[in-house]
């Protein structure tokens, strides 16, 4: 009888530990998901401030026909559809697919400065998806 009680207590402890580990694992995946959402925001900001995108990449062209000016730049914006996926690999436990859109923004003016001030009209040009990997502690470019 004593052995049966020990067996039941042992099974309960193992069951409890299994539940605790599952909850901890789910929390880890939720943390990875949150970190990917932040990584996406940071990546899009980086593209718009350090890459060829954003207002700093603005170019102004003069029309040979009427002498008016057109200011143009491309801007990256978040789009729905980004997600993470488990890989089963220790070195890269997750990969994340990031979805974003590139908009072309234009404004016209009689002078180059007037065109640069806008207002700008932006239209969707391209849908883009990129895959990033998670090394267990952070997302990598």
The structural domain count of the chain equals: 1
Look up the domain containing 114 and give its range: 2-140
Q: What is the per-residue pLDDT across 14-24, written as a single tens digit (0 to 9) for each?
A: 454 443 333 33
CB-based burial label for 71 (10 Å; 0-12, 13-18, 19+)? buried
Residue 35's pLDDT is: 95
Q: What is the per-residue pLDDT across 87-114, written as a single tens digit (0 to 9) for each?
A: 999 899 999 999 999 999 999 999 999 9
Residue 79's pLDDT is: 94
- Is this prediction's pTM over 0.85? no
Q: Please state, as a whole number, how many other Cβ atoms lie within 10 Å of the Cβ of residue 105.
A: 19
* Secondary structure class of 72 (helix, strand, coil): strand
Residue 29's pLDDT is: 87
Are 42 and 76 in contact by the 8 Å Cβ rule? The answer is no
Residue 28's pLDDT is: 85
């Amino acid at each position: 009888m004593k052995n049966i009680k020990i067996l039941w207590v042992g099974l309960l402890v193992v069951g409890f530990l299994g539940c605790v580990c599952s909850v901890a694992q789910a929390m880890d995946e939720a943390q990875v998901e949150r970190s990917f959402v932040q990584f996406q925001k940071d990546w899009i900001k980086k593209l718009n401030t350090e890459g060829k995108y954003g207002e700093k990449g603005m170019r102004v062209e003069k029309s040979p026909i009427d002498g008016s000016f057109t200011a143009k730049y491309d801007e990256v914006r978040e789009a729905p559809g980004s997600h993470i996926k488990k890989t089963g690999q220790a070195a890269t436990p997750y990969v994340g697919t990031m979805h974003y859109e590139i908009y072309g923004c234009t404004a016209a003016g009689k002078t180059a400065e007037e065109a640069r001030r806008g207002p700008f009209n932006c239209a969707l040009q391209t849908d883009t998806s990129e895959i990033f990997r998670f090394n267990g502690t952070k997302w990598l470019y």
